[in-house]
Structure 1
């Protein structure tokens, strides 16, 4: 079974998200979206419409909990449910909660051995 197929996004906590966004825009050329993050389009086969997201969150945000890390990486996967089950079978600390969105796809989480929360993302299937 294929496990991770790429990086879907990188999320950081910031003491001053607006100031940090502006630094990345000005100095690294990030083209910021209206929601405050950047989307890097792949424009290459086999997923020419794919993208990697970069996003900042306020320090007060608890989306990374129970991790105390200031970042979280989102990895693309082909079959979230199957991978979460394999990780459970392997003794990994898998969050029982998952999220599903017709627009965004499916999300699940696992903690790595150093206490970093890892987000796993199965993109939505293309309309037939």
Structure 2
């Protein structure tokens, strides 16, 4: 079974999201869109698109998408979330019971040995 196949997204909390987005746009050239982030298209070694994207987004620090007390999360793309979560449980990992199934795909979480909440994401079919 494949485990992580790529990074689905990187999400930041910010005290002033608009200012931070503008800083990244101005100084690092990230094409921040009106929804608050950017989507980086995946390409192969020859620069040809492969069909996937990695989302980069800055949101308000009062949201619940990021673990309490943390300022960012990295979301890892997986092929089969249910199978991976079960494998992690079988290996003795601290898998959170909560999961989410939405129009954006399926989400699950595991806690690493340092106490970081790791987000796992299975995209909707066809993505």
TM-score by shorter chain over 0.5: yes
2:51 aligned to 45, 49, 52, which one? Answer: 49
Q: 2:12 corresponds to which residue?
A: 12
RMSD: 2.0
**What displacement does 1:48 show?**
2.1
Partners of 2:63 and 2:101 lie apart in 1 by: 21
Rounded to whole Å, the distance in 2 between the matches of 1:57 and 1:36 is 7
1:47 offset after TM fit, Å? Answer: 7.0
**1:23 is paired with a residue of what secondary structure?**
helix
Contact 1:68 1:116 in 2 (8 A): no
Distance 2:64 2:36 in 1: 18
**Alpha-carbon distance between aligned partners in 2 of 1:73 and 1:17, rounded to the nearest angstrom:** 18
Residues 27-58 of structure 1: CA deviation (Å, up to 9, x unaligned): 11111122111110114499722100001122
Aligned to 1:95: 96
Measure, in 2, the Cα distance between the counterparts of 1:92 and 1:64: 20
The runs of 5 or more residues in structure 2 that have no matched partner are none
1:19 and 1:5 map into 2 onto residues whose CA distance is: 32
The total of aligned residue pairs comes to: 125
Partner of 2:120: 120
- Residue equivalent to 1:58: 60
Matched residues in 2 for 1:124 and 1:62: separation? Answer: 22
TM-score where L is the length of structure 1: 0.87
